[in-house]
Every structure is written in structure tokens, then in C-alpha cells.
Amino acid sequence: MIPAIEFKNITKQFGNLKANDNVSFAIRKNSVHCILGENGAGKSTLMKILYGAYQPDSGKLFVDGKQQNFHTPHDAINAGVAMVWQHFMLIDDFSVLENVILGNEPISGIKIDFKTAQKKINDVITKFNLGLNPDDKVEKLSIAEQQKVELLKILYRKPSIIIFDEPTAVLSPVEVDEFFNIITKLKDSGNTIILITHKLREVIQIAERVTVLRQGKKVYEAEATEIDEDILGKEIVGDSSFEIASETKLETDGEKKVAILEKAGLSSGGYSKLNDINLVLRAGEISGICGVEGNGQNEIVDILLQLLSVENGTAELNYSSVSVVPDDRIKKGMISEYTIGENVITRKMGFEIALKAKLKKLSEILIKSYDIRTPDYFTPMGNLSGGNQQKAIVAREIENQSELIIFSHPTRGVDLKSSLFIHDEIIHVRNSGRAVLLVSSDLDELFKLSDRLIVLYNGQTVKEYEPLELKSRLKDAESFTVEVGKLMVGAGIE
Amino acid sequence: MENLLSIFSVVFLSQVFRMFTPYFFGAIGGAYSERGGVINIAIEGFLISSAFSFAVVNIFTGSIILSFIIAMLVNAVLSILFAIFTVKLKTDHIVTGVGFNLLIAGLADFLIAYFFKTSSNTPRFEEIPTIEVLSFLPFLSDPLIIVAFATVPLSAFVFFKTRFGLRLRSVGENPQAAESLGVKVRFYKIAGVVLCGIITSFGGIWLASYQNTYSQGMTAGRGYIALAAMIIGKWKPVNIFFVCLMFAFFEALEIKLQIIGSFIPSQFIQSLPYIVTILVLIGFIGKTRPPAADGVPY
Ligand SMILES: Nc1ncnc2c1ncn2[C@@H]1O[C@H](COP(=O)(O)OP(=O)(O)OP(=O)(O)O)[C@@H](O)[C@H]1O
Ligand SMILES: [Mg+2]
């Protein structure tokens, strides 16, 4: 059978860096194919080549047996390819509907046929249970909802080959299951699906075939039947092994209370509301907040950053400095046109002279100690791979030595090895006596790092597990996961 | 007081609409360009080029229709040039705009001297006739004012109800996203700039036509005021219409007060539109937010 896609000796170079180095492999028609690899391995670059956004320096691309030279995404779309980008391609000022129909507008006369569009979109929303309102402005949606808009764009277009670049990085476990249901449906209706993810469990769950890239080269290829998480983990990192640091959890409360929110509420300003938030952050303690995204996490963070102020209850903020790794790295965490060094210096308070040598030194430290993969020191942050951008931001915020550090999805889009490294760093931060707030949709991450766990639902802190309790509950992680999972969706609340 | 009330006459209203027309065409033209993400401060230059070419062709041929068409064409060609610089060669929009303004103004001065051996203004010529059947409506009988009125709903329709408008706005907001959906980003940016040039030509034509001459410096910075009106109007046709009307009203009022003499210092009236502008810009009257990728070369 002719494969849906075949890459033949694809090479793509940025400066001296070979992002794709002579890559050849094929993707079967009507299959779910996973592409794996470390941050900066070249996954997104290869997908952008397939989608016509980048042109390869050499090599050939076949789609449905036909050689193609896609010059723009327009060409790829015409050949039946669609892509959900790692960093969303949404127009904030547009409604969901406008974002979905753009480039594919139903027309009646000289006018866009909004009625037909609305109906078609509502049908897809209902069929796939996406829970979106076509008239909402995209800028008001949470990251997970924006991901659903991207999905909706694809479902509306009915392409035959669909690329998903790390779609699950922003989803909670429940949402990942829903997403995989949709993938299965798409496959059943004949689509070919390419999925990029760093979560090996997901690969085992859904892939039919996998390809692993390492430093731009294809290093491994296998059928689903031949793989397990161990094999994949080894293939991804290559020879270098890594150790998992021992986690130590607190058993008692941290001493100094750096922030106290009591019955805190917020009725306007934020997009979703807070109504009863009880939260104490303590020095030398990691407080984890778990909940489905959009239940008030961002508002709590904004209160701690003093971007919002509470309207009911009290917020006592006793820290002198605060750092944050934001949930949306592109919009809130960095200036894409600036280099790493410039992004670091911009973050610093006070007067700094940005001499080239100094910028180089600043970025050198971070690049070395956090293993940030970049073509060179002066590559704009926007040109780093997603995971490496994230690492740079985490590095910058940790190095800032603030009294309170907020990590919002710290390992979003970060590969396994680097995630472990970041986890270690977070524990170091705690051990150095600073207060940490961890917001994440990754339960494993929360369970691993949190000394204290708070469940958030619908703007309320519905449950708090004290250090000692948490430690003992985690001994039976499976039943604890079920319990927390229920609380997160509002079940089991008196 | 009687004096003050007497100013609100039909004559005064016609004066307001006379002031309104060049502002409006400049501002709404600018909106086409900026919705597509190209900041176009060359509007001042586009007013000059169209006023000048309308005048010259009119003087030499005596044909209003021909001069109208040539003025539009001149602006179309200039804006294609502007688009080649800003969209294709990705030059800085502001710098390019300043360059165009200086160049066009200089060229007009040179050509006036060349054609008419004078440095100030051209000989007089016939203005665009009013529409007979509408002559009972004092200011609505001017064809270009009717065009201006029609442009408001038409532009709102184009921006918000058509495929062209959706795509134009998308390239001004987020060209990467638009391109990822197969939208031809450059085409829409160029189209926005060219439409801006053509629409702005109506403003220039109007200026020359109702004064029956082209004189040096007759645009008097109206292109920049038009840009301010566009910003205060939040790039929305209906808002732009009213903002331009407000600017025109105060300008006409100021002239009137100078003529009749009044206890209100005319400088105060004169400054009112700018006070309003500043109030808007510092956020008293709602926030203005330009297209997200406005002025960013792509
Ligand atoms: N436009 C660009 N200019 C310069 N370098 C680039 C550009 N795009 C990608 N790169 C570099 O190419 C390498 C591969 O990047 P790519 O985005 O393909 O990685 P990835 O495998 O998708 O990683 P991640 O898991 O972090 O998303 C990186 O080192 C990146 O910095
Ligand atoms: Mg990537």
C-alpha cells in the first residue's frame, strides 16, 4: 500500500544547526503515528516542512505517493494536510467562529454565510462534545479551551492527514481521554494521524507506530507491539542515562506564612470567578493546586502577583519578591524577538546595561546549567523549540531568587529528562527555604512535588490535604488519584 | 447669544460636511490599510497626490471624469509602490510613510512650478457639479459626500461580513495564524494598502474640487488628523464617521467664531478636538486597541 506520507532524506539547517538531518521514514495510511524525541530534536521542524511552513534544504516529501514541494501551508492544505501547532495559531480578537471559518468561509452571494457556518460548527461541537460557544472571543478562553478551538478548526475542515504537535501538553488527564476518543473517531473515519507528545504513557495507549528523533536524526522506528515505556525512554535520550533524585516530602508545616488568602472572592475582572479561596503559602513548602484548567488557577496567580485584588475576604501578602513561570509562555513569559540574555535582563529590576558580553554570560549560565538547546547564544527566543523556551523561562525565574515562586505548568512541553531536572530544581527551591506554589494539570507532577495539595473546583478550594495526610494518602496512589479526580470535576463535594 | 445660535444654519452645516469629507476618506482609507496590519501615515501624501493630479488633469483637459479617474489611478500606483516597500521589502512602515509624504509634497511643488510657472497655486478650474435632483438638500447634493455616506455601511459590511474583510483583519491581527490556514497574507496586505490609496484619493479630489484650485500645502496636515480620527474611531467605520464629524464640527465652529467674533476664544474651540483626542488616547473614553500585528512587517 502507498503510505500517506513519506519523508526521504529530509535535511533542514538553521545556521550551523541541523534541525533535521537526513530523515527518512513513512507513515501508513489510516494509522496513528507518534513522533518522539527530546526538546529540540527536530519534531516540530519536520512537521512544519510537511505543512509547507518551512522548506527543506534537501530531501523529498511524498504525500499519497505523489512527490510534493509545499511552498506555503496553502499548498499543504490543498493536498489534504492539516496541523495543530505546538503554539496555537489563533486570532485573539476573533470569535471562535471567525477563527474556525477563516480560510474556509461558507459564502452566500458576496457575504459570509454566518448561519451555515454557525450550524456546521455547532454540529461539530455537539458531535464531539467540545463544550465551546462559537460566539466567545478567543482571548477570553483558557489554554485548554483554546486547544479545543484548534481541534474544532481541524474537525470543521475534514482533512485527510492531521498533524497534532503536542496537543496534550495543555490538557488534564480527563481531557486527554476525551481527546483520544476524538482521535479514535477520526481514525475510524479514515484519517491518518500524526501525534507528537512527551508522555510515553500516551504513546503506549494510542500509537500504532512510533518514530524517534534525536538531534535531528531518525534513530528508532517500531510497531506498537514492540515497544514499552523503558525502550522508548532509552531511545529518546540515547546513551546518556539519568537519575531520578530522591524526593523528600515535608511532614510538618513550613514555618513562615508568606501569603494568606481567606475566604477570598472575585466577582469581576477575571474571566472566571473565585468565591471561596482558602490558601496559605508557607516558606520552605510546596503547595500544589490541582484542578481542571479554568477553575480559578489564573485568578489566584494574578492575585498573588497583585494584578488582581480580591473583592471579598482577605489576601495577606507578606513576601517581598515573587517570580512566576506563567501558563502561557509565549504571551506572558517571554519576548519572542529577544535573545535569552535579553529576556533575562528585561526581567531584572533596576538599571542594567545590556552589554553583549554580559548578555552572553547571562545566557551562558542558564544554557549550561539547564541544558537549553539553542543554535547559538543570540538566537531569538521565538526560534527555540517549545520545550527549550520553557526551560529558559523556568531557569530565569528560579535564578531570580524570589521569596515566592509560582510555577504554572512548569514542565509543559518539556521532555522527560528535562522535566525531572526541573522537578529537582523546584525541590531545591523549597529546600532553600522559599515558598513555592505549583499549579499543574499533571497529577503525577503534583503528587510527586507537593507537600500540601489543594483541590480547586469552580473558583473554590474544595479540599486541602495537609503534609502528613498527603504523605500517607499517596501510599495508595491509585485510589488517591481517583478521589482527587472526582473532586476536580465537582463530584463528592458536600 | 443670538449670534451663537445663528451659526447653526444650513450654511454652517454645509461647511461642516465640507471639512468632514477629506478627514473621513483619509480615516476610512487608513482603516483598510491598518486592518491589514500596515500603518499608513502616507495618507497625507496620498491626499496631496490626488488633489494635485485632479487639478492638473482638470486644467489641461477640462474633463472632470477623466481627472477623477486619473487621480484615483495615481493614488493606486503610489499605494502599490508603498505596498511593495512595506509588504514585499518589509521596510519600516513609519519611515516609508514619512518618505512618501516628503517625496509627494516635493514632487507636487516641483510640478506646479514646472507646469504653471508659479510656486503657490494652479489656475482655477471647474468643480465637481452637484446632483440637480438633490439640490434641495443643501449638502447632500455633492456626489462625494454621498459617496462618503455610502462608504460607512459599505465598509462595515466589507470588514465584518465578507470573506475579504475577515481575511484582511486576520492578517492584521496575526499573520502567522492566517497563513497557517492558507490565507495569502501578502495579497491581503497589499489589497488593504491599495484600497487605502484609492479611497483616500476621494478626499484629495474633494479638497481640490471645492476650492477650484490646487494650492501648495492645502492639505494642511489633514492626513494626520485623519489618522487620529481612525484611531479614536477604533478602526470601525461607524465610529470613524462620527469622530470625523466631530473634528469637522469644531473646525467649522472655530472658523465661524472667528468671523462673527465671540467671547469664547477661538483658540479654545480650536483645541477642543485635540483635547478629546488626548482624552481618548489616555483611556477616558474606552480603550482603543489597534490590530495586534499593526505595523509589524511580515
Ligand atoms: N526558525 C528557526 N530559526 C532558528 N532555529 C530554529 C528555528 N526553528 C527551529 N530552530 C531550531 O531547530 C531545533 C529543532 O527545533 P524543533 O522546534 O523542531 O524541536 P522539537 O523537537 O519540536 O522540540 P520541542 O519538544 O521542544 O518542541 C531547535 O534547536 C531550534 O532552536
Ligand atoms: Mg516542538
* Cβ A378 under 6 angstroms from ligand 1: no
A452-457 and A460-465: which strand pairing?
A: antiparallel
Residue of B157, B176, B178 with shortest CB distance to A102: B178
A360 pLDDT band, cuts 50/70/90, is confident
In this structure, the dihedral spanned by the alpha carbons of residues A322, A328, A334 and A337, taken in order and rounded to 10 degrees, is -170
- Atom index in ligand 1 nearest the CA of residue A41 equals 21
- Summarised one tens digit per residue, pLDDT across range B47-84 is 999 999 999 999 999 899 999 999 999 999 999 999 99
According to the model, what pLDDT value does residue B280 have? Answer: 66
B245 pLDDT band, cuts 50/70/90, is very high
According to the model, what pLDDT value does residue A401 have? Answer: 85
CA distance B274 to A297: 43
- Backbone dihedral angles phi then psi of residue A67, each to the nearest 5 degrees: -70, 135
CA distance A166 to A197: 5
According to the model, what pLDDT value does residue A247 have? Answer: 63
According to the model, what pLDDT value does residue B98 have? Answer: 95
Name B287's Cβ contacts closer than 8 Å, sequence gap at least 6. none
Residue of B157, B181, B291 with shortest CB distance to A102: B181
Q: Measure B36 CA to ligand 1 centroid, in angstroms.
A: 29
Order of strands across the sheet that contains A32-36: A81-84, A161-165, A192-196, A32-36, A209-214, A217-223
- Res. A79: pLDDT tops 90: yes
Give mean pLDDT, residues A453-461: 90
- CA–CA–CA angle B277, B283, B285 (5° rounding): 70
- Res. B3: pLDDT tops 80: no
For A310, the grid coordinates are 480580591
CA distance B78 to B49: 9
Between residues A267 and A389, the one the model is more confident about: A389
CATH for the stretch B2-128+141-284: 1.10.3470
Q: Is the ipTM of this complex over 0.90?
A: no
Give mean pLDDT, residues A467-483: 88
- Summarised one tens digit per residue, pLDDT across range A311-343 is 888 888 989 899 999 988 888 888 888 888 888
According to the model, what pLDDT value does residue A243 have? Answer: 55
Q: Measure A387 CA to ligand 2 centroid, in angstroms.
A: 7
Q: Say if residues A347 and A396 touch (Cβ distance below 8 Å).
A: yes
- Backbone dihedral angles phi then psi of residue A92, each to the nearest 5 degrees: -60, -35
Q: What distance in Å separates residue A84's CA from the closest CA in chain B?
A: 9
* Cβ A410 under 6 angstroms from ligand 1: no
According to the model, what pLDDT value does residue B138 have? Answer: 67
A107-108 and A58-63: which strand pairing?
A: unpaired
Q: Say if residues B39 and B93 touch (Cβ distance below 8 Å).
A: yes
- Summarised one tens digit per residue, pLDDT across range A227-280 is 988 888 888 887 655 555 556 777 777 678 888 888 888 876 545 578 888 999
According to the model, what pLDDT value does residue A16 have? Answer: 86
Average pLDDT, chain A: 89
According to the model, what pLDDT value does residue B61 have? Answer: 93
B6 pLDDT band, cuts 50/70/90, is low
- Report the candidate in A6, A37, A231, A146 with the shortest Cα–Cα distance to residue B174: A146
According to the model, what pLDDT value does residue A154 have? Answer: 92
CA distance B120 to B102: 17
- Res. B164: pLDDT tops 90: yes
Q: Which residue stretches of B84-181 are H helix?
A: 93-116, 143-161, 163-173, 175-180
Give mean pLDDT, residues A76-104: 94
Q: Nearest residue CA, atom 22 of ligand 1?
A: A44
According to the model, what pLDDT value does residue A144 have? Answer: 84
Give mean pLDDT, residues B200-226: 92
Average pLDDT, chain B: 88
CA distance A183 to A162: 10
Highest mean pLDDT range out of A250-254, B6-10, B11-15?
B11-15
For A459, the grid coordinates are 473558583
According to the model, what pLDDT value does residue B59 have? Answer: 92
- Res. A446: pLDDT tops 60: yes
**Percent of chain A with pLDDT strictly greater than 90:** 52
Strand ranges (DSSP E) for A186-345?
Answer: 192-196, 209-214, 217-223, 257-266, 274-282, 286-290, 312-317, 322-325
Which residues in B lie closer than 8 A to residue A94 (C-beta atoms)? 169-170, 173
- Summarised one tens digit per residue, pLDDT across range B17-53 is 889 999 999 999 999 999 999 999 999 999 999 999 9
Residues with CB under 5 A from ligand 2 (ion): A 44, 86, 385-386
- Summarised one tens digit per residue, pLDDT across range A158-181 is 899 999 999 998 888 888 888 999
According to the model, what pLDDT value does residue B49 have? Answer: 96
Give the nearest chain A residue to B293 (CA atoms). Answer: A91
* Cβ A42 under 6 angstroms from ligand 1: yes
According to the model, what pLDDT value does residue A329 have? Answer: 87
Give mean pLDDT, residues A296-314: 88
Between residues A33 and B275, the one the model is more confident about: A33
Give mean pLDDT, residues A217-232: 91
CA distance B215 to A26: 70
Domain ranges of chain B: 2-128+141-284
B176 pLDDT band, cuts 50/70/90, is very high
According to the model, what pLDDT value does residue A266 have? Answer: 82
According to the model, what pLDDT value does residue B295 have? Answer: 81
Mutation pick from B159, B167, B180 vs chain A, by most beta carbons of A within 10 Å, is B180
